[in-house]
Amino acid sequence: MSVSNIQMVDLNSQYLKIKPQIDAAIAKVISETSFINGPAVKELQLKMQEKFKVKHVIPCGNGTDALQIALMALDLKEGDEIITSTFTFIATAEVISLLNLKPIFVDVYPDTFGINIEQVKAKISPKTKVIIPVHLYGQTCNMEELCQIAKDNNLYIIEDTAQAINSEFTFSNGDKKFAGTIGDIGTTSFFPSKNLGCFGDGGAIFTNNDTLAEKMRMIINHGSKIKYHHEIVGVNSRLDTLQAAILNVKLDYLDEYCANRQKAADYYTKNLQNINEIITPTIHSKGTHVFHQYTLRVLNNKRDELKKHLESKGIPSMIYYPISLHQQKAFANFHNGESLVVAEQLEKEVISLPMHTELDVETLQFICENVQEFFAK
C-alpha cells in the first residue's frame, strides 16, 4: 500500500473546504480597502472574547510580538528574572533577552512536556517577576499549581498558548478555563500551521485585567491612545484586517478542527502504543489536548533511524525541538551550564508525526504500518 503526498500539515485541503467563505471575506476587505484596523479586527476580538470566555482579546502582529508586548506591560526592570521552560520554540525566551531581562530555564516533565513545577519553585529568587509556562504540543501545564506559586510569591504568569488555543484546563473544584485565559496574560499565534492559522503572520493577547489590557492596547499602537500622542514607548504590531477576516471564518471551525486532530491522535495511539520502544503522548487528567503536534518518544537511540525509514516511504516527520534553549548559542550568556536532563534526553527521543485537520484513515493507517514495520525488524 502507498499513499502519495503526505504532509506534516495540509493547509491546502483545509482551505478548499471553506474556499467560498474565505474568498468572500478577503474580497470584502479589499473592496472596502479597510486594510488596517478594519471592522473584521474588532469582530475577531469580540468573537474570541466570547468563545474563550475572556474579558479582553488584543489582536497583534504575531505570537512573538504578543509575548514581547505582554512583558513590556509588566513594568519590569533590567535584570529581572523570568522563569520559563527550556523545551520550547526560541520565541518564548527570545523576547525576554531582547528586553534586557534574564531568562531562567527549567526542565519539563518527561510525560506531558509541561514545565517542571518543583524546579520553578526552586528557581524563584528575589529578582523573579514572571513565570512563562508553555502549553507545549497542545496541552496545558498544571495551571492550578502554577497560579498558587505565583500568588504565594507575588509573580505574574504569562501563558505561551501558541500551540494550545482551545485547550481547556479543569481545576480541582471543577471549573474549566481555556488555555491563555488563566494567568495574568495569555499569548497565542495565528502562524499558518498553528491550530488556528491565518494566511500569514498573526497573533493575539488575552487578559482579564483591565489595566494591563489598556496598556497593551497602547503598546501595540506606538504607545498611544490618541493619534500622535505617545504616552509610553510601544511598537507597531497590528493584525492585518485581511488576516482577521480569514480568522473570523476559521474560528467557527476551530472545534471541528480540534476534534479532527484528536481523532487522528487517537488513531495513532491505538495503533502505536503496543510498540515497546515507543512512548505515545500522555494526556493528563486535568484537561483537553488539542494536539498541535503528535509527538512520540523513541527509545534506544532509534529515533533518527525511524525518521530515515519514514522518509524513505514518503512520510515526513519533524523534531520539535532538537536543541533545548539552555543549550542554544544565543543564550550562552544566560545559562550556568547546569544540565536539564529531561529536556536533553527528549531532544534525542522526540519525533512528531504528520498532524493536521485533514488526515484520513488511509493515510494514518499507512503511517502506523510503516512505524510498526520499522520496529518489527
Ligand X SMILES: *Cc1c(COP(=O)(O)O)cnc(C)c1O
- Least spacing, CB of residue 84 vs ligand X, in Å: 10
The smaller minimum CB distance to ligand X, of residues 134 and 296, is found at: 134
Residue from 22, 48, 64, 83 in contact with ligand X (CB under 6 A):
64
Please report whether residue 62 would count as binding ligand X according to CB under 6 A: yes
Residue 308 CB coordination number (10 Å): 11
Closest C-alpha to 355, from 310, 281, 291: 291
- Least spacing, CB of residue 66 vs ligand X, in Å: 7
How far apart CA 356 and CA 267 sit, in angstroms, is 13
How far apart CA 146 and CA 157 sit, in angstroms, is 8
For ligand X, which stretch binds (CB under 6 A), given 155-163, 307-315, 325-333, 335-343?
A: 155-163
Chain Cα centroid distance, residue 195 = 9
The smaller minimum CB distance to ligand X, of residues 191 and 331, is found at: 191
Residue from 80, 81, 160, 168 in contact with ligand X (CB under 6 A):
160
Please report whether residue 293 would count as binding ligand X according to CB under 6 A: no
Residue 162, C-alpha cell as written in the block:
501558541
Chain Cα centroid distance, residue 79 = 26
User: Contact at 8 Å (CB) between 147 and 122?
Assistant: no
Segment 19 to 48, residues that bind ligand X, using CB under 6 A = none
Please report whether residue 134 would count as binding ligand X according to CB under 6 A: yes
User: Contact at 8 Å (CB) between 160 and 187?
Assistant: yes
User: Contact at 8 Å (CB) between 265 and 355?
Assistant: yes
Please report whether residue 133 would count as binding ligand X according to CB under 6 A: no
How far apart CA 59 and CA 239 sit, in angstroms, is 6
For ligand X, which stretch binds (CB under 6 A), given 59-67, 141-149, 307-315, 325-333?
A: 59-67
- Least spacing, CB of residue 207 vs ligand X, in Å: 17
Which residue lies nearest ligand X, judged by its C-beta? 63
The smaller minimum CB distance to ligand X, of residues 62 and 357, is found at: 62
Q: Where are the beta strands (DSSP E) in 28-184?
A: 56-60, 81-85, 102-106, 128-132, 156-160, 168-170, 176-178
How far apart CA 361 and CA 260 sit, in angstroms, is 11
The smaller minimum CB distance to ligand X, of residues 164 and 212, is found at: 164
- Least spacing, CB of residue 272 vs ligand X, in Å: 24
Chain Cα centroid distance, residue 30 = 30
User: Contact at 8 Å (CB) between 181 and 206?
Assistant: yes
Segment 174 to 233, residues that bind ligand X, using CB under 6 A = 189, 191, 201, 203
Cα separations in angstroms, 316 against 8, 278, 307, 310, 356 = 6, 18, 8, 7, 13
The smaller minimum CB distance to ligand X, of residues 267 and 354, is found at: 354
Please report whether residue 89 would count as binding ligand X according to CB under 6 A: yes
Please report whether residue 295 would count as binding ligand X according to CB under 6 A: no
Site size toward ligand X (CB under 6 A) is 15
Binding mask 239-268 for ligand X (x = CB under 6 A): ------------------------------
For ligand X, which stretch binds (CB under 6 A), given 83-91, 101-109, 122-130, 282-290?
A: 83-91
Please report whether residue 132 would count as binding ligand X according to CB under 6 A: no
Segment 90 to 109, residues that bind ligand X, using CB under 6 A = 91-92
At residue 307, the 3 state secondary structure works out as helix
Closest C-alpha to 299, from 320, 280, 318, 323: 280
Residue from 162, 213, 216, 367 in contact with ligand X (CB under 6 A):
162
Q: Which residues make beta-bridge pairs with 130?
A: 82, 156
- Least spacing, CB of residue 341 vs ligand X, in Å: 21
Residue 228, C-alpha cell as written in the block:
500622535
The smaller minimum CB distance to ligand X, of residues 140 and 363, is found at: 140
The smaller minimum CB distance to ligand X, of residues 91 and 157, is found at: 91
Binding site for ligand X (CB under 6 A): 62-64, 88-89, 91-92, 134, 160, 162-163, 189, 191, 201, 203
